[in-house]
């Protein structure tokens, strides 16, 4: 009996020493650090600033800090999962290749969850629902436009690699579509400088732009009967991860599951309040 008791004691000790409910490590986050890539040049989604004010996070291999809606969301996701956050700054066109190659674990950068992108990456989310709008200069020939038909014949552009440029601008009758802008700041400068009559973007970007450029006018054609036609996949904004990394998708979605559009919009308004007044 004593031998049996000793054996049971050893077995009990072994069980206590092992993890009771060991979970498989999430690919890419085995070290407890979630590396997130973004442009850091797309306010109010994300931007770079010189200090850590308003909760900004250091940008890897840089003297600058990242902030914005995407950073706020990344911080909340990491806190919910017990991870540390690392921000990596990349150009827009480098974001999907970076997550495919493992340079980053996820991209949180205002990406629409399109079928085309889903051929290359998997998505968690949505973490925002976007509305498509336009921006023009106050006093321009298009400042009183009530629908996209009223933009007919105008010169326009948007950021390259976005649904704004590829899908929305071609819906405007006789639009004079200029070459795409390389970044959101370049897009906004095109309309601010008068290079084009108007640009197409989403509501958060436009709201942020009005703070940086108060002489711009926001054109929202929702409920006009003459609006851009977009699918859910084009206005659902998601977080991309490597193909097949369902564990990471599930971990991110576990945080987003009970969040509403109102929750997302409230956080976006916080980002807009603290964004830089001008964009680099």
Question: 166 and 239 share a domain?
Answer: no
In-domain check, residue 2: no
The range of the structural domain enclosing residue 149 comes to 132-221
15-19, 131-135, 179-183: which range is least confident on average? Answer: 15-19
Strands in the chain per DSSP E = 33-38, 41-42, 46-49, 57-58, 65-67, 84-89, 106-112, 121-129, 132-137, 155-157, 176-177, 198-202, 216-219, 236-242
Distance separating alpha carbons of residues 37 and 98, to the nearest angstrom: 8
The reported pLDDT for the residue numbered 278 is 52
Distance separating alpha carbons of residues 100 and 83, to the nearest angstrom: 21
Q: Are 201 and 92 in contact (CB under 8 A)?
A: no
The reported pLDDT for the residue numbered 280 is 43
Q: Which of 221, 242, 265 is the last residue of a domain?
A: 221
Tell if the pTM clears 0.95, that is, is over it. no
Question: CATH number of the domain that 67 lies in?
Answer: 3.40.190.10
What pairing do the DSSP bridges indicate for beta strands 236-242 and 121-129?
A: antiparallel
**Sign of the alpha-carbon dihedral angle for 87, 88, 93, 94:** negative
Mean pLDDT across the chain: 91
Whether residue 15 is predicted with pLDDT greater than 90 in this model: the reply is no
In 3D space, the residue among 84, 72, 82, 73 whose CA is nearest the CA of residue 33 turns out to be 84
Question: 137 and 118 share a domain?
Answer: no
Residues 120-131, mean pLDDT to the nearest whole number: 96
Whether residue 9 is predicted with pLDDT greater than 80 in this model: the reply is no
Question: 166 and 102 share a domain?
Answer: no
For the CA atoms of 252, 257, 261, 263, the dihedral, rounded to the nearest 10 degrees, stands at -80
Number of Cβ within a 10 Å radius of residue 274: 17
In-domain check, residue 16: no
Domain count, the chain: 2
Question: 150 and 122 share a domain?
Answer: no
In 3D space, the residue among 164, 185, 189, 184 whose CA is nearest the CA of residue 175 turns out to be 164
Question: 167 and 189 share a domain?
Answer: yes
Question: SS3 for 170?
Answer: helix
Question: 203 and 147 share a domain?
Answer: yes
Which residues have CB under 8 Å from 269's CB, separation 6+?
none
In-domain check, residue 176: yes
């Amino acid at each position: 009996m004593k031998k049996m008791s000793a054996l049971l004691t050893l077995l009990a000790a072994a069980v206590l020493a092992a993890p009771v409910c060991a979970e498989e490590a999430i690919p890419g986050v085995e070290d407890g650090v979630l590396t997130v890539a973004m442009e850091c040049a797309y306010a109010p989604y994300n931007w770079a600033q010189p200090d850590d004010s308003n909760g900004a996070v250091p940008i890897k291999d840089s003297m600058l800090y990242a902030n914005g809606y995407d950073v706020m969301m990344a911080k909340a996701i990491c806190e919910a999962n017990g991870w540390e956050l690392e921000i990596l700054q990349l150009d827009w066109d480098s974001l999907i290749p970076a997550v495919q190659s493992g340079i980053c674990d996820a991209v949180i950068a205002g990406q629409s969850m399109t079928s085309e992108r889903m051929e290359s990456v998997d998505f968690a989310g949505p973490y925002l629902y976007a509305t498509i709008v336009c921006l023009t200069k106050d006093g321009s020939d298009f400042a009183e436009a009530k629908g996209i038909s009223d933009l007919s014949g105008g010169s326009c552009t948007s950021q390259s690699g976005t649904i704004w440029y590829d899908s929305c601008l071609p819906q405007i009758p006789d639009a004079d579509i200029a070459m795409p802008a390389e970044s959101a700041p370049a897009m906004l400068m095109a309309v601010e400088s008068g290079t084009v009559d108007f640009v197409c973007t989403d509501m958060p970007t436009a709201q942020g732009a009005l703070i940086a450029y108060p002489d711009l006018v926001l054109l929202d054609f929702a409920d006009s009967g003459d609006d851009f036609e977009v699918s859910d996949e084009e206005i659902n904004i998601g977080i991309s991860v490597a193909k097949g990394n369902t564990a990471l998708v599930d971990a991110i979605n576990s945080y987003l599951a009970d969040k509403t559009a109102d929750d997302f919009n409230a956080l976006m308004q916080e980002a807009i309040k603290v964004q830089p007044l001008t964009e680099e």
